[in-house]
Structure 1
Amino acid sequence: MSPALAAVLQVAVLALVLALAHRPLGDYMARTFVSTKDLAVERVSYRVVGVDPRSEQPWRTYLRGVLAISLVGIVVVYVLQRTQSVLPYALGMPPVDPDLAFNTAVSFVTNTNWQAYSPDVSLGYVVQMVGLAVQNFISAAVGIAVAVALVRGFARRRSGTLGNVWVDVTRTIVRILLPLSVVAALVMVLGGVIQNFAGFTDVSTVAGGSQSIPGGPVASQEAIKLLGTNGGGIFNANSSHPFENPSSWVSLFQVALFLLIPFSLPRTFGTMVGDTRQGRTILAVMVGIFTVALAAATILEMRGAGTAPSSRAARWRARSSASASRDRRSTPSPPR
């Protein structure tokens, strides 16, 4: 199979998966946010926080809730990094420097997930799982909750409330992100993504040297990283690392996870406002923008534009020039 045909088939499979998930997942998310029933685990969390799940909040109170959740997240992630050396499964890692710890905490809480460090040699497993992975759930849930509050603003033109931020965030985690992440993590483990607490394993290479191979709970963090459109994996290369992305079908599966919720939210919007045609219109605009961007990137790639093709072409020209120079030096001059 030619590379071009393989690329077309991958895009077709991706489009089919998103099309099949659009309606059922979109409707499920809409039912999640309009339901008047609470699950047992949700009721426990409301009692712990002291929240009345039936109370509606005006936009100012909703905003204060979003800011409060974010502030607590920053403090927790920062403290975990600064106390890393005394935590279990620290792997001998020292505490993260204050500036870097603060930068990482803010970036993960704001869903930008900028990593100014190499995670596999900087953070232990407790910081990765309790700090960063948990924050991936919370920051994604806060983003979805804000989107749902915006939808309610369109649907409730004469109402002064937008829902309850604590209920929206809790339901997003418990009913949407957590179940999807469990399934996604299991699929990725079957595809070869690692999930262990092995630490670093020293092995002998074929050339007679030694190499330290990292382990880690990768699949569980990779699942929510993609579903929540987060960044920041356990390895510095993220999804370019073979332990996070070991095969072509796993790579395609990860792209589908990344787009699954965004491409289903237009259906949620249409269902919640009572007009699915509006949701289809938003989806059509999204698909149009995605198609144009994909086509432009493909054309530029085929023409050799971009960093990777340019650097490859530059290396080929350099090797050709060096080979020609050696040939000229090695060719004897004709007798006079």
Structure 2
Amino acid sequence: MSTGIVQIAITLLIIILLIKPAGSYLVNVFNYEKTKLDKVFGPIEKVLYRIMGVHENERMGWKQYVMALLLSNFVMTMLMYAVLRLQKYLPFNPDGIDNMPSALAFNTAASFITNTNWQAYSGENGLSYLSQMLAITFPMFTSAATGLVAAIAFIRGLTAQKDNLGNFYVDLIRSLTRVFLPLSLLVALFLVFQGAPQTLDGAQTATSMEGAQQVITRGLVASLESIKHIGTNGGGYFGMNASHPFENPTPLTNLVHILCMMFIPTALVYAFGVMIKNKRQGWTVFATMAAIFLIMLATVFFAEYKGTPALQTLGISGNMEGKEVRFGYSESALFTTVTTAATTGSVNNMHDSLTPIGGLVPLAQMMLNNVFGGDGVGLMNGLLYVILTVFICGLMVGRTPEFLGKKIEGKEIKLASIALLAHPVIIMVPTAIAFLRPESMASILNAGSHGISEVLYAFTSGAANNGSAFAGLSANTNFYNMAIGLVMLFGRYVSIIALLAVAGSLATKRMAPATIGTFRTDSPLFALILFVIIVVIGALTFFPALALGPIAEQLSMWK
């Protein structure tokens, strides 16, 4: 146990040390000022702007920004769907993979354009190499970039003096050329060095020691794994995801995967403080997110360390079901917490095999959807709760709520409420429908409370754009492919549109100077209030569903 705690502490320390330099780099990328980076990336970007017909100095209001975001994502979705439906006839298919069925292709295209990366198929058996590159790896870059630039635009709206959120296409290109491509190249090279495959050759047939023939699938694994984690994408080249030795060969690659998942979400909170010229505000939001993260980590760690009553009766210490021995329960618990805090969805252990309380942690983090969160959108959801907290506190003291010197009024609260309420609606309603349909009930492999958790987890994962799953649910059916696909689309775009509308509204408001009566939002007191409001709203919204699933399952074990 002590060794596991030390490993976790070292990993968290490295994450903390990376926050400031990474955050400062993000500010340099998106502040539109001349920097030394222009000499390296500027010529490439200018060529891309010319090809796209983009005017680098043109600025967009929030409606233009949203329309550009939606249009580009729609075009990419259609391209991905076409590739998946026609992969049998396209090149780079040495293993002769057949075309993907229509419902599954819709689900997969929706999944990867929304940064969810939910997989109702096994990658090595369901995709050609061209599909892995164009329909999987390519949108891993663009979906991560879309989320990141949406957050940058939101931050600009908080401090702007007019409806000017920047230029979506410029932001997108800069995020790709200066953030995701360089980082992914470095990480991919390291993964190849550690043993991850990176080849266009087909599967290899090997003879085992017993004389049996074994087909070993390989492909462009390292390049997918790098952006998968840096872009908080999730998914996996293989069905076993990051527990597969080709995706995660060594303890060092496991460490790098964790660092990559937390790299941008944590750094962006610091960048937020720098961009609004109030670092204390950034650290206040960071402290709240970090407190929830540490509580969740401690919960799943001790739940897996203690195991179940049945294991304790047998004298077995710890729950190792569904876990790689080379990682143990400590690294599995850390990976579980990180992948659902950063809404990545990559797994190095099977979440379906966690103890009930251990399984509650990834569910709870996806339901909150603001514990650092995915690239960009996690910060936006966190700031959504900041705005709600400011509004509630303002009502309590009888003052007009203000955040960063701008008044929070009815329009902003209505838009924030849409983003807040959409999340539980698209989780609870489809979950209820699933239990009313006989064909969807047939996909549940476990009865009772655990079966409820499996279905609830699937729709929560889709709504939070996470992509991890409880493996006991056979989700590759027309109902689940269509339902989860729609949930992923609503979960992604409803909140982005609503929050960019909030940013556009705030951008047109005058800055009010701080007075002695101004409620400070960059203090430890505010961090505590924010923490309580996030927990209370999350508990009131989702506790009944959790009570039927993991909580009921845990109580049944104590009988």
Do both proteins adopt the same fold according to a TM-score greater than 0.5, normalized to the shorter chain? yes
- Within a 5 Å distance, the mapping from 1:103-142 to structure 2 comes to 103-142=107-146
In structure 2, the partner of 1:324 is: none
In structure 1, the partner of 2:13 is: 16
Partners of 2:65 and 2:111 lie apart in 1 by: 22
* Structure 2 residue corresponding to 1:31, chosen from 3, 28, 31: 28
Give the deviation of 1:52 after TM superposition: 1.0
With structure 2 as the length reference, what TM-score do the two structures score?
0.53
CA separation of 1:46 and 1:310: change in aligned 2, threshold 3 A: closer
Q: What SS is found at the alignment partner of 2:151?
A: helix
Q: Do 1:84 and 1:124's aligned partners in 2 also have CA atoms closer than 8 Å? A: yes
- Within a 5 Å distance, the mapping from 1:224-235 to structure 2 comes to 224-235=227-238
**Letter of the aligned partner of 1:231 in structure 2?**
G
In structure 2, the partner of 1:52 is: 55
Please give the per-residue CA displacement for 1:265-291, whole angstroms capped at 9, x wherever unaligned. 111101111111111112211211111
Partners of 1:106 and 1:123 lie apart in 2 by: 16
* Structure 2 residue corresponding to 1:102, chosen from 89, 93, 106: 106
For the aligned residue pairs, the C-alpha RMSD in angstroms reads 1.8
CA separation of 1:125 and 1:21: change in aligned 2, threshold 3 A: same
Partners of 1:144 and 1:32 lie apart in 2 by: 12
* Structure 2 residue corresponding to 1:73, chosen from 73, 76, 83: 76
In structure 2, the partner of 1:332 is: none
- Within a 5 Å distance, the mapping from 1:170-209 to structure 2 comes to 170-209=173-212
* Structure 1 residue corresponding to 2:266, chosen from 233, 246, 263: 263
Please give the per-residue CA displacement for 1:96-121, whole angstroms capped at 9, x wherever unaligned. 11221111011100111111111101
**Letter of the aligned partner of 2:48 in structure 1?**
S
Identity of aligned residues (%): 38
**Letter of the aligned partner of 1:117 in structure 2?**
Y
Q: Which has the larger radius of gyration?
A: 1
Runs of 4+ in 1 over 4 A off after TM superposition: 305-308
Give the deviation of 1:150 after TM superposition: 0.9
Partners of 2:281 and 2:84 lie apart in 1 by: 45
Q: Do 1:10 and 1:252's aligned partners in 2 also have CA atoms closer than 8 Å? A: no
In structure 2, the partner of 1:84 is: 87
Give the deviation of 1:130 after TM superposition: 2.2
**Structure 2 unaligned residues grouped into runs of 5+:** 312-317, 323-559
**Letter of the aligned partner of 2:10 in structure 1?**
V
In structure 2, the partner of 1:309 is: 319
* Structure 1 residue corresponding to 2:153, chosen from 139, 149, 153: 149
Give the deviation of 1:42 after TM superposition: 1.1
Give the deviation of 1:214 after TM superposition: 0.6
* Structure 2 residue corresponding to 1:161, chosen from 160, 164, 172: 164
**Letter of the aligned partner of 1:202 in structure 2?**
T
* Structure 1 residue corresponding to 2:255, chosen from 252, 267, 272: 252
Partners of 1:145 and 1:202 lie apart in 2 by: 44
**Letter of the aligned partner of 1:50 in structure 2?**
G
Partners of 1:214 and 1:65 lie apart in 2 by: 39
